[in-house]
Structure 1
Amino acid sequence: MDSAERDQRFDRATELFDGLNTRGVRAVAVTWVDNSGITRTKSVPLRKLAHAAAHGVGSSPVFDVFLLDDHIIQGRFAGGPVGDLRLHPDLDRLTVLAGQPGWAWAPGDRHFQDGAPYPMDQRLQARKAVHRLAERGLTAQAGFEIEWCVGRTGTDDWVPATSGPAYGHARQVELSDYCADLLDALDQQDVEVLQFHPEYAPGQFEVSTAPEDPVGAADTAVLVKETIRAVTMRHGMRLSFSPKVINGGVGNGGHLHFSLWRDGTNLFEGFQDEARRFSAGILAHLRALCAIGCPSLASYLRLVPQTWSAPFVAWGEENRETALRLIRDNMEIKCFDLTANPYLVVAGVIAAGLDGIATSAPLPEGLSVDPALLDGVPRLPTSLREAVDEFEQDAVLTEAFGKEFAGTIADVRRGEMERFKDASPQGIANITRWRY
């Protein structure tokens, strides 16, 4: 980042000041998502936004080795008290927050102090992946499904805030004002909601948003989750995005929808050859991708057969128990959850898919039945340890992320395993429940 770009950022933020001030904005939260999937933030008063846009906000690289409970490990390539980065807000995504009066939000990119991109920045990693698509003349559209459970306050135990049945209108009626306020907040923030409904688990809801470019989809996933959090708290409730709110119950997913485009044509319409090879690449690397998309110990409490968590390395047209579900115009990756960093998810999926195209990977036959009823259908990893082992042995993914970044991701995963090695399944659910 040279002085001319810094000046341009400063001038643009200055131009935005009056409009933001008129709308009552007093501070801007600049966020990034760490390797444990926790959204972290540094905030600035509105009058300091221009300086932050040009010169960034100080941010230690130690955040790369934070665990979900804020415990800090010493990784092979990151950790310790030395060093500083600059967190720059992306003014193109600056959003006035309807659920948090007085606040605006922008996703941040982390750079070195001299302005050079920080190679372990998760959002920049997603941008690099999109650039690799463009080098092949391809673009992509993506979107996340966000599932969460609403609970009562006053206890660390799980007590649903509504008693209505799964998918039941009664549940939505019980929390009618909450649901309407949430949809209104998302609308005011220009988030295009495609669908909203009560889900299967007690107190569970889901919202799906319109497809965007992959980096934009990850940004929107962060914005939607934090908007849900703000509106839920303003209604006197608490929420959990955890993949297992209680052990044995149905968990929260974070499904990714993905489509591939060339020259304005969606290659998933008619499931054209490049889309098939891209999907084959995802399937071939899916066990390793679980270290990215199913990155917590609680993720493996969720990936249980015949719970619609899609724990099988298989695909099928409109099959909700295969990890990849082909829909009319996109592929849904159903096994991922919301403990994942969405930027790493889209980066990993693109790397795997591009490898499928480059190697002309064959796509196995799709399944039209529940894989649990068949013999020999391979499972996804059944533990975080198994997923991390697969990730570290996957040359395509480790090369795409780079040695130091891939190693740091693995270090964080192993740090979580070590820290909670004596926890029972219910203990893991308890630890994770209110962290996400």
Structure 2
Amino acid sequence: MDSAERDQRFDRATELFDGLNAREVRVVALTWVDNSGITRTKSVPLRKLAHAAAHGVGASPVFDVFLFDDWIIQGRFAGGPVGDLRLHPDLDRLTVLAGQPGWAWAPADRHFQSGVPYPMDQRLQARKAEQSLAERGFTAKAGFEIEWCVGKADTDDWVPATSGAAYGHARQVELSDYCVDVLNALDQQDVEVLQFHPEYAASQFEVSTAPEGPVAAADTAVLVRETIRAITIRHGLRPSFSPKVINGGVGNGGHLHISLWRDGTNLFDGFHDEARQFSAGVLNHIRALCAIGCPSLASYLRLVPQTWSAPFAAWGEENRETALRLIRDNLEVKCFDLTANPYLLVASVVAAGLDGIATQATLPEGLNVDPALLGDVPRLPTSLREAVEEFEKDAVLTEAFGKELAGTIADVRRGEMERYKDASPQGIANVTRWRH
């Protein structure tokens, strides 16, 4: 980043000041998502936004080796007390927060102090994925399904906030004002919601957002989750985005929808050859992708057959138990959950899909039955350890991320495994329940 770009960023933020001040914004939260899927932040008073845009806000690179419970490990390529990075807010995505009066939000890109982009920055990986698509003449659109459970706030245990039936309107009636406030807040923040409904698990809801470019979709996933959190807390309740709120119950997913485009044409509409090859690439790498999209110990409490968690390494048209579900105009990766970093998620899926196109990969026959009934359909990894081993031997994904980031992701996963090696399944559910 040269002086001209710094001046441009400063001027742009200065131009935004009056409008933000008129809307009574006093603080701007700058967020990034770490390798354990936790949204971290540093914030600046509105009057310091221009300086932050131009020169960044200091943040230690040690966050790359934070576990989800804030335990810090020493990785092979990151860790320790030495070093500093700069957080630069993306002013194009600056949003006044409807659920937090006085606050605005912007996703941050991490740079070295020299202004050079930090190669282990997760948002940078999503940007690189968009560039890789463009170099091959493609674009992509993506969107997330965000699932969460609403609990009582006066306990760390799980006490559902509603008693209404799964998918039942009674659940929305019980929390009618809350549901409207969530949707109003998202609308005020220019988040296009496609659908909102009660889900299967106790006191569970889901919101789906409109497709956007990969970086924008990941930004929106962060914004939606933090908006839900803010509105839920303002209602005296508590949200859980965990893959397993209680052991034995149905967990929260974080399904990714993605479509491939060329010259304004959606290649999944009609399932063109490149869309088939892209899907085959994702399927070929799906076991390794679990280290990114199912990155926690709790993820593997969720990925069990006949719970609609899609634990099988297969695809099918409108099949909700295969890892990949082909819909009319997009591919849904159903096995992922919300402990994942959304930037790494879109980056890794794009890398896998482009590998499928480059190698002209072929899809096997799709499944139109419950895979559990067949007995011979390969499973996704059944443990975090297995997923990490698959990731480390996957040259396409590790090369896409680079040696340092790929190694640090594996280090963080192994840190979690070591820290909770003696925990029971319910103990894992308990410690994960309120973290993400």
Partner of residue 119, structure 2: 119
Match of 1:50 in 2: 50
Q: Deviations over 1:108-137 (max 9, x none)?
A: 000000000000000001100110000000
Q: How does 1:291-306 map to 2 (within 5 A)?
A: 291-306=291-306
Partner of 1:198: 198
Give the match for residue 289 of structure 1: 289
Q: What is the Cα-based RMSD across aligned positions, in Å? A: 0.4
Residues 186-238 of structure 1 deviation map (CA, whole Å, 9 limit, x = unaligned) = 00000000000000000000000100000000000000000000000000000
Q: Give the whole-Å Cα distance in 1 for the aligned partners of 2:176 and 2:413.
A: 39
2:231 partner SS? helix
Asked if 1:37 corresponds to 2:37, the answer is yes
Which residue identity is paired with 2:165? Answer: P
Partner of 2:148: 148
Report the number of matched residues.
Answer: 436
Rounded Cα–Cα distance in structure 2 between residues aligned with 1:75 and 1:273 = 41
Distance 1:217 1:405 in 2: 22
Once the two structures are superposed, the pairs formed by residues 267-282 of structure 1 within 5 Å of their partners are: 267-282=267-282
Alpha-carbon shift at residue 154 of structure 1 (Å): 1.1
CA distance in 1, matches of 2:32, 2:375: 43
* 1:375 Cα deviation from its structure 2 partner: 2.6
Partner of 2:325: 325
Q: CA deviation at 1:35?
A: 0.1
Q: Secondary structure at the match of 2:58?
A: strand
Deviations 1:118-159 (A, max 9, x none): 000000011001100000000000000000000001111100
What secondary structure, in the 3-state scheme, does the structure 2 residue paired with 1:156 have? coil
The answer to whether the aligner puts 1:413 opposite 2:413 as a matched pair is yes
Counterpart position of 2:260: 260
Aligned-partner SS, 1:340? coil
Corresponding residue number in structure 2 for 1:223:
223
Residue 4 of structure 1 and its aligned partner are, at CA, apart by 0.2
- Letter in structure 1 aligned against 2:364: P
Aligned to 1:137: 137
Partner residue in 1 for 2:431: 431
Residue of structure 1 equivalent to 2:105: 105
**Who is 1:369 aligned against?**
369
- d(CA) in 1 for partners of 2:320, 2:375: 18
| Percent identical residues | 87
Distance 2:300 2:42 in 1: 32
Structure 2 counterpart of 1:258, one-letter code: I
What CA distance in whole angstroms lies between the structure 2 residues aligned with 1:15 and 1:155? 45
TM-score (norm 2): 1.00
AA paired with 1:433?
R
The answer as to 2:69 corresponding to 1:76 is: no
C-alpha deviation, 1:264, in angstroms = 0.5
Amino acid at match of 2:293: G
Distance in 2 between the 1:139 and 1:334 partners?
21
Amino acid at match of 2:50: A
Q: CA deviation at 1:74?
A: 0.0
Consecutive aligned runs of 4 or more in structure 1 exceeding 4 Å deviation: none
Amino acid aligned to 2:149? C
Give me the whole-angstrom Cα distance separating, in 1, the residues matched to 2:279 and 2:31.
31
Q: Distance in 1 between matches of 2:391 and 2:196?
A: 34
Partner secondary structure for residue 270 of structure 1: coil
Letter of the structure 2 residue corresponding to residue 41 of structure 1: T
Distance in 2 separating the partners of 1:392 and 1:421: 20
2-structure distance, mates of 1:191, 1:239: 19
